[in-house]
A and B are shown apart, each in its own frame.
Chain A
Amino acid sequence: MNIFRFAGDMTHLASVLVLLLKIHTIKSCAGVSLKTQELYAIVFATRYLDIFTDFISLYNTFMKLVFLGSSFSIVWYMRSHKIVRRSYDKDQDTFRHYFLIVPCLLLAMIINEKFTFREVLWTFSLFLEAVAILPQLVLLQRTRNIDNLTGQYIFLLGAYRAFYIFNWIYRYFTEPHYVHWIPWIAGLLQTLLYGDFFYYYFHSWKNNKKLQLPA
């Protein structure tokens, strides 16, 4: 494992923990999109179908369990916790899941390396991860209410994506036959979706101001 891959995994982990800790300690999920969190739970559930069948390393298995556990915990908090769920911006978080899930599933059935149940769902999880942040970005635009933690959450997710791209570039030049179009294109698209948000994030950080998105 190279340093970019490890940094990517750690920022990904940090993003999820920041969100979980925020919800757990301040008992509020204001500004957090449940739609995005449910999509991430689906992403991990469909990607890690191999968790008990294909052993790669203790690190991999452990991280998979952490991502599955944390994403489902966040969804549970937002839907079922008697205090947290009251702070959920239900009326603003109106993005429909199936607008993203159905096209990703269809695309995964057309574009895949092998037409099998696991391969199609694995490809589906890559496509869905690429667009899963959209309900969150829409919610931010609507409420324009971004506390520091929500901003940091999205910033860390973006950093994770950027590190993974460096990881792929590194592996492309250091490992023979390392060419994987599907995750690369899905990953590149996902990183681009953060570009706009990053612009405003850095702008507010540079001017030492609270992050505000334009209407």
Chain B
Amino acid sequence: PHSRDRVVSDKLSGLLVAPEDATSELNPLLRLPKAVRRGYALLPPLLKVLSDQGHQNWESEAPRLQPDSRALRYMKRLYKMSATKEGIPKANRSHLYNTVRLFTPCSECKHSHRDLMKGDLHSVDLLFNLDRVTALEHLLKSVLLYSFDTSIPTSSSFTCTCHLSVKEHDFSSQVCPSVSHTVAFSLHFEVRKRKWVEIDVTSFLQPLIATNRRNIHMAVNFTCLMGDPQHNTKQDNSINMALVPPSLLLYLNDTSEQAYHRWNSLRRRRKNPVRPRRRNSPFADIADDKGRENPQGKRA
């Protein structure tokens, strides 16, 4: 118990560090209790680097894979919509999520005609690796994000059909799993300036992510006809979408202590509104000492 008394708790990283004098030379990871070390490994990089600053040279870390520029542009736009210039989450945003992850497919696999479904010329297998999603990040919504390339005229209307199927891993083929369950739906929409199409696949992926599946194999065929199909049936208006693999967007609620819980802080603020210190009133201190309703003060 004595050693526990001297344990230093570090609120910022939520870690308990062993007594300082006995462990400062050890490798920081060795210093942590086993269970915490596992949690530590899954800490978001920002908190890891804040905890590790001075113990690990982040420069020497393995080079990061660079994300797709379109994906980056989309996430920067999402950031601007969700946070102020100072980086503070916008109060008027009533969204439940406090984490959004965007994954680009890490491998593609084209099917040979033999086992394609009839008429499905552009089917592409996509593998998304979701290892970065932690156990405390709970899925709220998942979207397949398609971006139109710039050559498409703006405010055109499209009718698209999408064949989506999730694959189970077929051990006979290392990369290309077999089909398990499929869904097909069609969309009709108009492309605006932003040239993004979000396809909500939440109900489709929820059971997979809830069972901690971290490798998601999907076969996606997304074919669009420009204009309204009733009016023109010419095939040459089809836009070959499958060549541009979609990104996968996950809206998550992180329940860890380090994450911002919008509803908690609103409740906290409502419980004890803070009265700012009034400098311009010469009697502020006196009023403060007498006027503030502090139950402890009253009891004392």
A binds B: no
Q: Which residues of A come within 8 Å of B, CB atoms?
A: none
Q: Which residues of B come within 8 Å of A, CB atoms?
A: none
